A and B are shown apart, each in its own frame.
Chain A
Amino acid sequence: KAGVTQTPRYLIKTRGQQVTLSCSPISGHRSVSWYQQTPGQGLQFLFEYFSETQRNKGNFPGRFSGRQFSNSRSEMNVSTLELGDSALYLCASSEGYSGANVLTFGAGSRLTVL
């Protein structure tokens, strides 16, 4: 079974630009969640999708958005990039949205904003 695939793995943007990150979950997994990882802030929850519906959203500004497609693939978008958006963005998938579900993480997309 293929793992969680995130693309691109690395990217460099400048302030004011926008970026779209992609996540393909494990086959059969219908829940996808996104996290921002920074050295000082640990893992911060961005949002979670299940069957194309956003179930939960973290405390991030409206510049951060996401969506999920019918094949469970998910994208997140960050508009008007700021220096503080530099981080590792992790996607995780699980079979469902029960709290018991184990998250399977992708390798992450490392975003650098200059």
Chain B
Amino acid sequence: AQTVTQSQPEMSVQEAETVTLSCTYDTSESDYYLFWYKQPPSRQMILVIRQEAYKQQNATENRFSVNFQKAAKSFSLKISDSQLGDAAMYFCACNTNAGKSTFGDGTTLTVKP
């Protein structure tokens, strides 16, 4: 069975500081993709960043970057220069070409002004 674990139910960060959200996963597939999605309060879930497992280079999108450790099956999200608008629930997800997306339980991020 495919699993995704987010060990931090809640995290907080001071505005302008950096925070790292943790995610570990387990899959028997050799070809898979990892995602971080963001769900702001009462708003729709949107993609933050995507990582192809076959790529060694860590994905980056502006202030968001990942630390992908394939051997350790770890996929953490780093948010630099945190902004108030980053406050949301963040979900880590693993997709395979078999079609099923597996999500973690989410991490609620609070940004303090």
Contact = CB atoms under 8 A, between A and B. Distances in A.
Interface of A: 3, 31, 33, 35, 41-43, 45, 48, 50, 55-56, 58, 90, 92, 97-103, 105-108
A105 B44 contact: yes
B97 A98 contact: yes
B44 A43 contact: no
Given A43-B91, A97-B99, A102 B47 contact: yes
B105 A42 contact: yes
5 contacts: A41-B105, A48-B99, A100-B52, A100-B95, A103-B101
Interface stretch (B17-25, B31-39, B60-68, B79-87): B31-39
Contacts of B45: 90, 92, 103, 105
Given A99-B98, A99-B99, 7 more contacts: A43-B91, A43-B103, A50-B99, A98-B97, A100-B52, A103-B47, A103-B101
Contacts of A48: 99-100
Nearest to B94: A99
A103 B87 CA distance: 21
Nearest to B96: A99
Contacts of A43: 91, 103, 106
B60 to A, nearest CB: 16
A100 to B, nearest CB: 5
Interface in B27-55: 31-33, 35, 37, 43-47, 50, 52
B100 A56 contact: yes
A58 B111 CA distance: 34
A99 B103 contact: no
A99 B32 contact: yes
A33 B95 contact: no
A99 B97 contact: yes
B105 A99 contact: no
Contacts of A33: 101
B104 to A, nearest CB: 6
A106 B46 CA distance: 10
A20 to B, nearest CB: 21
